[in-house]
Amino acid sequence: MKKKAMYALMSAIIAFGLWLYVITVVNPEAEQTYYDITVSMTNESVLKDKGLMVLADSEPKVTLVLRGNRTDLNKLKNSDITLLADLSKINAAGQQELSYSISYPGEFADNAFEVLSHSPDKVNLNVVEWGSKEIDVVISYVGNVAEDYIIDKDSAQLDHEKVTITGPKTVIDQITQAKLDVDLNGRGQTFSESFRYTLCDANDQPVDAAQVKTSVAEVTLTLRVLRVKEIPLLLDVKYGGGATADTTNIAIDPLTIKVAGSEALLENFNSLTLGAVNLADMLEDTTKTFPINLTEGLMNLSGVTEATVAISFPELETKTLSIARDKIQVSGLPAGMTYTIGTQICTIAVRGPKAQIDAMTEEHLTIRVNLADAQLGENYFPAQVYVDGAFPGVGVLGPNNISILVQGS
């Protein structure tokens, strides 16, 4: 039994050696099948110059049966086999049959393999007219930004405002826009993001563009998101001439406006002052118009560019008093100068409650002129008018100027 086992082992070793010799030395020929080898297309640019292109639903696949020595066949892989179809041979649209060439890596001899069969022997191609054009990128906003925020559509910036599309002419002709759907829901700050777009027709409907190539896959949109704030309009009022906050009616129309801007600009922007008025210069009820001027970077959402301010004094009356020039008190005349008051009668307007105005006369006013800064010649000097303390609600309207001739002594 021990001898039989030894003989069997020796037989197996000899058999393996003979097989190895045959494989490595004798190297008999064999056949091998290679499946699903892709046929690549060459000279696509030549075909495109003819206004044509291949409409490929899928890449053509070929099954090859090759004969060659076993060693070469074992080394050859599907990925080593190159199948090429020359598109320059096509001259018209429609269903076309095209032969293909077969090649192998340089490590194999040109005659290393015999092609026993290749299926299919030709590839069937659907050739159509080729087209290309440039289309606009159109933004479509979806949803709403956060409360008290808006988007500044005029600030929208695209890194590509147009997209070039190429593909079957029948499909290209349908496409009119690259539609960018931008979701605004909950946004509360300016953003810059990349979005994929959809190729659509003139009715905003998506077009089946599986065979269409585009110049860019995504478009970057930069868009300002602005905070909205309601701002009261104010007036800088200097009370005087008998008018006080209690006796003056000031109506501003509109009272407020809505503005939009960045958080930084609006953080401390709580009111807008239209301008300044001095009530002592207003002799009667007045209506004035002020422009609404905003800081650069802010948007006026109300659309109102001017505000109307109506100022009235319903509880006050005005009276004019005439003061003779001999009642005018002059002080501060520089040494070596003399003066002559040219104003014969100085007319002073006063305003106040009716009872006090009715009781007031010229005797209750004092007019003073300071000539400390006088120069030679006739000039107008501002007059300081004082009201008797018995009339606390009365104020002087102005300005009031006195003509005085200054001469050397």
**The pLDDT of residue 168:** 94
- What's the mean pLDDT when you consider all of the chain? 92
> Does position 332 have pLDDT exceeding 60, yes or no?
yes
Question: Predicted confidence band at 20 (pLDDT cuts at 50, 70, 90)?
Answer: low
Q: How far is CA 260 from CA 137, 213, 265, in A?
A: 27, 41, 9
Which 3 state secondary structure label does DSSP give 372?
coil
Chain Cα centroid distance, residue 121: 57
**The pLDDT of residue 15:** 67
DSSP for 117-136 reads: EEESSSEEEEEEEEEEEEEE
Q: Which residues in the chain are classed under CATH 2.170.120.30?
A: 26-121, 317-408
Question: Predicted confidence band at 19 (pLDDT cuts at 50, 70, 90)?
Answer: low
Which region among 11-20, 43-52, 147-156, 247-256 has the lowest average model confidence (pLDDT)?
Answer: 11-20
Question: Predicted confidence band at 393 (pLDDT cuts at 50, 70, 90)?
Answer: very high
**The pLDDT of residue 24:** 57
**The pLDDT of residue 40:** 92
Do 238 and 278 contact (CB within 8 A), yes or no?
Answer: yes
Class level of CATH domain 26-121: mainly beta
Neighbours of 346 (CB within 10 A): 23
- Of all residues in the chain, the percent with pLDDT exceeding 90 is 81
**The pLDDT of residue 110:** 80
- pLDDT per residue as tens digits for the range 224-246: 999 999 999 999 999 999 999 99
Which 3 state secondary structure label does DSSP give 172?
helix
CA-nearest of 222, 136, 228 to 182 is 222
> Does position 360 have pLDDT exceeding 90, yes or no?
yes
Name the CATH superfamily, with its identifier, for domain 229-312.
YbbR-like domain (2.170.120.40)
- Strands (E) across 212-285 are located at 213-214, 218-238, 249-253, 256-261, 272-278
**The pLDDT of residue 21:** 60
Structure tokens at 176: 């009119």
Beta bridge partners of 321: 348
- Of all residues in the chain, the percent with pLDDT exceeding 70 is 94
Interval 292-298 mean pLDDT? 92
> Which CATH number is correct for 130-226, 2.170.120.40, 2.40.160.20, 1.10.150.120, 3.40.630.190?
2.170.120.40
> Does position 81 have pLDDT exceeding 90, yes or no?
yes
Which region among 13-22, 68-77, 201-210, 323-332 has the lowest average model confidence (pLDDT)?
Answer: 13-22
**Distance of alpha carbon 345 from alpha carbon 323, whole angstroms:** 6
**Distance of alpha carbon 330 from alpha carbon 334, whole angstroms:** 12
**The pLDDT of residue 22:** 55
Helices (H) and strands (E) in the chain, counts: 6, 30
Interval 251-255 mean pLDDT? 97
> Does position 181 have pLDDT exceeding 70, yes or no?
yes
**Distance of alpha carbon 88 from alpha carbon 74, whole angstroms:** 35
Chain Cα centroid distance, residue 100: 53
Q: Which residues in the chain are classed under CATH 2.170.120.40?
A: 130-226, 229-312
Domain spanning 317-408 has what CATH number?
2.170.120.30
Q: How far is CA 36 from CA 50, 117, 118, 290, in A?
A: 30, 14, 11, 81
The predicted model scores a pTM of 0.64
Q: 7-26: string of b/e by CB count within 10 Å (b at 16+)? A: eeeeeeeeeeeeeeeeeeee
> Does position 10 have pLDDT exceeding 70, yes or no?
yes
The torsion angles phi and psi of 217, rounded to 5 degrees, stand at: -90, -30
Q: How far is CA 359 from CA 200, 319, 356, in A?
A: 85, 11, 5
Do 321 and 365 contact (CB within 8 A), yes or no?
Answer: yes
> Does position 283 have pLDDT exceeding 60, yes or no?
yes
**Distance of alpha carbon 381 from alpha carbon 52, whole angstroms:** 94
Residue 373 DSSP label: T
> Does position 28 have pLDDT exceeding 90, yes or no?
no
- pLDDT per residue as tens digits for the range 56-79: 776 899 999 999 988 889 899 999
- pLDDT per residue as tens digits for the range 198-228: 999 999 999 999 899 999 999 999 999 999 9
